[in-house]
A and B are shown apart, each in its own frame.
Chain A
Amino acid sequence: MSALNRKLLRDLWHLRGQVLATAMLVACGVAVLIMSYGTLHSLLDTRDAYYERYRFADVFASLKRAPESLAERIKEIPGVKWVETRIVRTLTLDLPKVAEPATATAVSISPTARPALNGLVLRQGRWIEPGRPNEVLISEAFADANAFHPGDRFRALINGHRRELTVVGIALSPEYIYSLGPGFLVPDNKRFGIVWMSREALEAAFDLDSAFNDIAVSLLRSASVETVIEHLDRLLAPYGGVGAYARDEQVSHEFLKGEMDQLRAIGQIIPPIFLAVAAFLLHVLATRTVETEREQIGILKAFGYSELAVGWHYLKFILAMTLLGVLLGCLIGIAFGRSMTELYAEFYRFPFLYFRLTPGVFVAAAAVSLAAGALGALSAVRRAVRLSPAVAMQAAAPVAYRRGGLEENALLRSLSQPSRMILRHITRWPVRAAITSLGLGMSVALLVSTLFFFDATDKLIDTYFFQSHFQDATVRFVEASDPVVVQELARLPGVMMAEGSRAVGVRIRLGHRSKRTGISAVNADAKLVRVLDADLVPVEAPAFGILLTTQLARILQAKPGDRVTVEVMEGKRPVVDVPVAGIVEDYIGSLAYMRKDALDRLMREGPRVSAVELRVDPRRADAFYRSLKETPAVAGVTLWRVALQSFQDTLAETTHIITTFYIAFGSAIAFGVAYNSARIALSERGRELATLRVIGFTRFEVSYILLGEIALLLLPALPLGCLVGYGLARSMVENLSSDLFRIPLVIEPSTYAVACLVVIIATVLSGLLVRRRIDALDLIEVLKTRE
Chain B
Amino acid sequence: MTEVVFRTEAVTKVYGTGELAVRALRGIDIELFRGELVVLLGPSGSGKSTFLNILGGLDVPTGGRVFFRETELTRLDDGGLTNFRRNHVGFVFQFYNLIPSLTARENVALVTEIAQHPLTPENALTLVGLGARLDHFPAQLSGGEQQRVAVARAIAKQPEVLLCDEPTGALDSRTGIAVLEAIETINRELGTTTALITHNAGIAGMADRVISFADGTIQETKTNDKRLAARELAW
Contact = CB atoms under 8 A, between A and B. Distances in A.
Interface of A: 397-403, 416-418, 420-421, 424-425, 428, 687-688, 690-699, 701, 779-780, 783-787
For the residues of A in contact with B, the DSSP-based class is: helix
Nearest to A695: B111
A418 B106 CA distance: 10
A725 to B, nearest CB: 33
Nearest to A425: B101
A696 B83 contact: yes
A424 to B, nearest CB: 4
Contacts, number: 93
Contact of B95 (A416, A428, A786): A786
Given A425-B101, A695-B86, A780 B58 contact: yes
B137 A695 contact: no
Contact of B93 (A418, A428, A783): A783
Most chain A beta-carbon contacts within 10 A, residue among B84, B99, B138: B99
Given A402-B137, A697-B86, A691 B99 contact: yes
B213 interface: no
B209 to A, nearest CB: 25
19 contacts: A397-B139, A398-B100, A399-B139, A417-B102, A417-B106, A420-B106, A425-B101, A428-B101, A691-B98, A691-B99, A693-B82, A694-B58, A694-B85, A695-B153, A698-B79, A780-B58, A780-B59, A784-B93, A786-B95
A686 B94 CA distance: 17
B101 A401 contact: yes
B100 A696 contact: no
Nearest to B85: A696
B111 A424 contact: no
B97 interface: yes
A400 B139 contact: yes
A398 B79 contact: no
A698 B82 contact: yes
Interface string B49-80: 10001001011000000000000000000110
B114 interface: yes
B234 interface: no
A696 B89 contact: yes
Nearest to B150: A691
Contacts of B53: 780
Interface string B127-139: 0000000010111
Contact of A687 (B79, B94, B97): B97
Contacts of A783: 93, 95, 97
B85 A695 contact: yes
Contacts of B97: 687-688, 690-691, 694, 783
A694 B102 contact: no
- Place the interface of chain B in its size category: 35 or more
A400 B100 CA distance: 7
B93 to A, nearest CB: 5
Contacts of A399: 100-101, 139
A425 B137 CA distance: 13
B6 interface: no
Contacts of A687: 97
Given A698-B82, A779-B58, A420 B139 contact: no
A403 B104 CA distance: 13
Interface of B: 49, 53, 56, 58-59, 78-79, 82-87, 89, 91, 93-95, 97-103, 106-107, 109-111, 113-114, 135, 137-140, 153
Most chain A beta-carbon contacts within 10 A, residue among B91, B93, B97: B97
B101 A696 contact: no
A246 B100 CA distance: 73
Closest 4 A/B residue pairs (Cβ): A696-B86, A424-B101, A400-B139, A696-B85
Contacts of A785: 95
Given A417-B113, A692-B99, 16 more contacts: A397-B139, A399-B101, A403-B135, A416-B113, A417-B107, A417-B110, A420-B102, A420-B106, A425-B101, A428-B101, A688-B100, A691-B98, A694-B58, A695-B86, A695-B153, A784-B94
A438 to B, nearest CB: 23
A778 to B, nearest CB: 10
Given A417-B113, A421-B101, A401 B139 contact: yes
A158 B226 CA distance: 123
A787 B95 contact: yes
Contact of A424 (B85, B95, B102): B102
B102 A421 contact: yes
Most chain A beta-carbon contacts within 10 A, residue among B78, B100, B109, B110: B100
A678 to B, nearest CB: 17
Given A691-B97, A695-B110, A696-B83, A400 B59 contact: no
A111 B196 CA distance: 107
A52 B3 CA distance: 101
Nearest to A692: B110
A586 B107 CA distance: 65
Contacts of B113: 416-417
Nearest to A397: B139
Contacts of B139: 397-401
